[in-house]
A = this chain, B = another copy of it.
């Protein structure tokens, strides 16, 4: 990850796209998603075209949004992955959680939690200690500095990203609703 804002190759594409490769079939749309969908239909893969377009859209939306988030957090020295861990701890009023719970809540692999906590610990934002009731487990706790950073990062993220979603309120709601159904189908909760 560690994606960063509108990169130079963005401009390159803008300059290039208006004149697509002449080897392509004619009449294709400029929008890359619409182009891909047309190509799918041209190949007779009609039944898959909508699914392909939706998934491709999702991938691209993720890329765009993650880049915005990461570039906003960058000056604070955290990535989104680590920010999520900080916020999980921040909301657990006890200020600490076992690794396992962090992984479960964020739905990431245990080794991803180890990785994130390693870096947070190196930065002095969290501490590890053995769980008093289960010596297999490791309790991760927010340090004062971690708590302070979590708050500062949230303030910035709210102001610069979450409150400027580039979408209407209706679209925002629709997006959450559709994805809620998707997540439910996938057994997300």
In the complex, chain B residues whose CB is within 8 Å of the CB of A13: 104-105, 107
| Contacts known (A16-B104, A50-B165, A101-B16); A24 close to B92, Cβ less than 8 A | yes
Q: Is there contact, CB below 8 Å, between A51 and B107? A: no
Q: Is there contact, CB below 8 Å, between A181 and B167? A: yes
- Residues facing B in A29-73 (CB within 8 A) are 30-33, 39, 45, 47-55, 57-66, 68-69
Most buried by B among A168, A171, A181: A171
How many residues of A are counted as interface, with CB atoms below 8 angstroms from the partner's CB atoms?
Answer: 84
A75 near B: Cβ within 8 Å? no
A134 near B: Cβ within 8 Å? no
Residue-by-residue, is A146-183 near B (CB-CB < 8 Å gives 1, otherwise 0)?
A: 00000000100111011111111101111110111111
In the complex, chain B residues whose CB is within 8 Å of the CB of A108: 9
A157 CB to closest chain B CB, in angstroms?
8
In the complex, chain B residues whose CB is within 8 Å of the CB of A101: 16, 21
Q: Is there contact, CB below 8 Å, between B93 and A24? A: yes
| Contacts known (A45-B154, A45-B158); A97 close to B185, Cβ less than 8 A | no
Q: Is there contact, CB below 8 Å, between B172 and A58? A: no
- Residues facing B in A88-120 (CB within 8 A) are 91-94, 97, 100-101, 103-105, 107-110
The closest CB in chain B to the CB of A170 belongs to B178
Most buried by B among A110, A168, A189: A189
A-B contact pairs, 9 of them (CB 8 A): A24-B93, A25-B93, A51-B161, A54-B175, A55-B161, A55-B165, A166-B186, A167-B182, A178-B178
A positions within 8 Å CB-CB of B: 6-7, 9-10, 12-14, 16-17, 21, 23-25, 30-33, 39, 45, 47-55, 57-66, 68-69, 91-94, 97, 100-101, 103-105, 107-110, 154, 157-159, 161-169, 171-176, 178-183, 185-189
